């Protein structure tokens, strides 16, 4: 079972689940924690959902850190894991995460639901705000008349101001809206800036 085979199976699974919803955006390799950690696939609609992929060939060394970070950002998270790693992986993730098992059947990867997801109650407002690039953060501050004297501040301070001054539901909704309208520059790579949040391997599905 190869990594790309699992990814293709998850792409097909998500396409089938969301093909009727033109408001859903699916993005690969989305960065969180100022782009220092990337989740394999993110689904952006009325919620922000993450999918982390671990094939039978992958190691689970990074999963505890990934679980900690993703649990501060996403409304829901799904671990897609090869059958070989299921027993080792489950203790490393929160109980509210969904789990899909990837099985290799004669070269065809099938996904079976091991555990349903629950809504996350552990999100961190600052890490959610950090999904915004600097221009988006300033625009959101301006929308709520919080930008005066702040436009030249460092990006980390802008994220903190948003997190401290906006109701969390409004912040989350605004972040999702910004991510969904960022399609025009998703492929640009700006490695010297901390305000880059998304680096996809492939174009969004929708």
Predicted pLDDT at 33: 83
Predicted pLDDT at 197: 38
Q: What is the pLDDT of residues 40-75, one digit of tens each?
A: 999 999 999 999 999 999 999 999 999 999 999 999
Could you tell me the residue range of the domain that residue 142 belongs to?
Answer: 1-206
Give the end-to-end CA distance of the chain in Å, rounded to a whole number. Answer: 27
Distance CA 105, CA 114 (A): 17
The number of distinct structural domains making up the chain is 1
Residue 80 has pLDDT above 80, yes or no: yes
Predicted pLDDT at 182: 83
CA 5 vs CA 2, 32, 99, 190: distances in Å: 5, 24, 17, 29
Q: What is the pLDDT of residues 5-46, one digit of tens each?
A: 999 999 999 999 998 888 899 999 998 887 788 999 999 999
Predicted pLDDT at 23: 87
């Amino acid at each position: 079972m190869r990594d790309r085979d699992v990814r293709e199976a998850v792409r097909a699974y998500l396409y089938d689940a969301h093909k009727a919803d033109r408001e859903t955006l699916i993005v690969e390799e989305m960065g969180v924690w100022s782009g220092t950690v990337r989740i394999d696939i993110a689904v952006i609609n009325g919620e922000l959902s993450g999918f982390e992929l671990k094939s039978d060939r992958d190691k689970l060394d990074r999963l505890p850190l990934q679980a900690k970070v993703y649990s501060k950002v996403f409304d829901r998270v799904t671990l897609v894991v090869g059958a070989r790693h299921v027993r080792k992986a489950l203790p490393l993730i929160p109980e509210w995460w969904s789990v899909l098992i990837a099985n290799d059947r004669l070269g065809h990867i099938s996904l079976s639901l091991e555990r349903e997801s629950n809504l996350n109650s552990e999100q961190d407002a600052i890490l959610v705000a950090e999904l915004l690039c600097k221009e988006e953060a300033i625009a959101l501050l301006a929308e709520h008349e919080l930008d005066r004297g702040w436009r030249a501040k460092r990006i980390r301070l802008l994220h903190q101001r948003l997190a401290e001054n906006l109701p969390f539901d409004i912040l989350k909704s605004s972040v999702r809206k910004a991510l969904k309208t960022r399609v025009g520059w998703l492929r640009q790579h700006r490695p010297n800036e901390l305000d880059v949040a998304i680096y996809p391997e492939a174009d969004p599905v929708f």
